[in-house]
Amino acid sequence: MTSTRRNFIKTASVLAAGSMLSIDALSKARMNIAPSDKIQVALVGGNSMGWSDLSSFLSNPDVECVALCDVDRNVLNRCTDDIVKMGRPKPKLYVDYRKMLENKDIDAVIIGTPDHWHCLILCNSLEAGKHAYVEKPIGNSIAEINIMHKAVKKSGKIVQVGQWQRSQPHFVDAVKYLRSGKLGRIRVCKAWSFVDWKGAVPKVPDSPVPNGVDYNMWLGPAPKRPFNINRFHFTWRWYWEYGNGLMTDWGVHLIDYILYGMNKSIPESVMAIGGKYAFPDDDMVTPDTMTAVYDFKDFTMIWEHTIGIGLGNWSRPHGMAYTGENGTLVLDRNGWEVIPEKQKIEAVPVQKNVGVGLDIHVRNYLDCLKNNTPQKLNAGIDVGRNVALVAQMGNIAYRTGEKVSWNNEKQQFTSSAANKLIIPQYNNGFALPKY
């Protein structure tokens, strides 16, 4: 790589890691970048994290958005207006991502759709010769997770998973301390998400499809059913057909750092209990309260979540904790600290968060694209697969009511009831990809 290009990447990385550039400053920076040095991206799914991801990409002067795809034209119009307000050119608009993938100008696809679409869109994007940035969890079932993993390995394309905490400096620092051995032998880890800002989902009758929405395309491989607003934007995650509840909404982020810190991937067994304890009569299907216990043979990991209560372990709404014989390291998005066990080690006061994790994560991806260095991805497909599999195991233990064990060689459980939940049933003419 030329010295000029190295200097450009270094400069762009510094810009992304700092505060958001003004529109004027970003426009001036873009003018100095040759077209051959620009990465042209497309977004599928313009709501929530999809839009957050694209906004982070566009905070980099070497990125252009050339295409937007969403089944809701209202979302398309809103995203387009916001892109134009950024001083960016209007992208091409699509309702069907398969048509979008015919666009030869696209270098990388950002996948921000509901979870049940991730597998198909990622596999089709790779087959079309595109790189990809896919939101977590990578798939909505174990079969999809394994298919996506194989597809990325086969394609040779560069794929980052949206587990942006892998790029957050204070998370990285916490793991460095953890691995120093100062905590002593670690026997218990916890991860939790207590969310008081999410409430009940009141039952409402089915209704006509909103104007501008291609509902059949929104359903995709999910079972055919009448339109209901509860199963649409945002709240789709509380229904097994489209998402996997808080376990994969927050759990994938938090459990990931337990696996990372402890250098583990597959537990010996999992058992889980919970239910709809907060809102027993509302429309959610996934549990609003749940505890899963994972046995890693030399330590246990406990996952806890609840909706409607905001004060979790160590007075934190979310977080992770590693408890060793000498003390406990507590970590969340605000910072990390060490609490000694009977003064066996020195306390470490809260080390506060610095930087915007998502922006750093996106810049890491862009640099890997430019340098063709997939080995330097902070959250490549292996990272995404491992934690998504562990999260699915917890949900399957809950859904079957069994203590489940995973046979990694056979890629199946030792329980027939659990094995029935590995492969999703695709509908409406869509087929599960084969790899």
Domains and CATH numbers, the chain: 3-166+358-379 (3.40.50.720), 169-352+385-419 (3.30.360.10)
* pTM, rounded to two decimals: 0.94
Dump pLDDT digits (tens) for 112-154.
999 999 999 999 999 999 999 999 999 999 999 999 999 999 9
Report the percent of the chain where pLDDT is more than 70.
94
Dump pLDDT digits (tens) for 83-112.
999 999 999 999 999 999 999 999 999 999
Q: For residue 390, is pLDDT > 50?
A: yes
Other CB atoms within 10 A of residue 405 CB? 17
